[in-house]
Amino acid sequence: MTETEVIQYIPQRPPFVMIDEVTKADDTISQTSFTVRKGHLFVENGQLTEPGLVENMAQTAAAGTGYKAHKSGQQPQVGYIGALKNLVIYELPKTGDTIITEINFIHQVMNAHIVQGRILKDEREIASCELKIFLQQ
């Protein structure tokens, strides 16, 4: 999947894009892959930073809802992170590493989505948290 294909599902634009490919998107799960590149906005000292990991999870959630919107002929909605809960980071991926991010949609109350995110590298969990994301109507 090219960057052009990915950005049809998310409101973010380069250089802020944090996903390379949407590998799964349905009503309960969204999954993406991203290869950490040298010179990326969220890379410092050869590693993807903590805010980069959180933004990657948020964009994976956006890609899932954007994919569903795109299939129904609508534009992806802009979302805002309202809260993080239980953020755990075990490892920062290095440039050249590919991460797989999975988002499980827990529930929705009006325009607030509660999701559980986790990031894997080499099939090992390197980060996780719960996010509360508000969608702009």
pLDDT at 1: 56
Which CATH fold topology does 3-135 show? Thiol Ester Dehydrase; Chain A (3.10.129)
As a whole number, mean pLDDT of residues 74-79 equals 83
For the chain, the domains span 3-135
Across all residues in the chain, what is the average pLDDT?
A: 92
Euclidean distance between CA atoms 11 and 13, whole angstroms: 7
pLDDT tens for 28-47 read 999 999 999 999 999 999 99
Dump strand ranges (E) for 5-123. 21-25, 29-35, 43-44, 47-48, 79-89, 98-109, 112-121
Contact 32, 23 (CB under 8 A): yes
Three-state DSSP class for residue 105: strand
pLDDT at 3: 59
Contact 135, 62 (CB under 8 A): no
pLDDT at 25 over 60: yes
pLDDT at 22 over 70: yes
Contact 101, 34 (CB under 8 A): yes
Encoding tokens for residue 128? Answer: 């996780």
pLDDT at 4 over 70: no
pLDDT at 26: 87
Positive or negative torsion for Cα 5, 100, 19, 110: positive
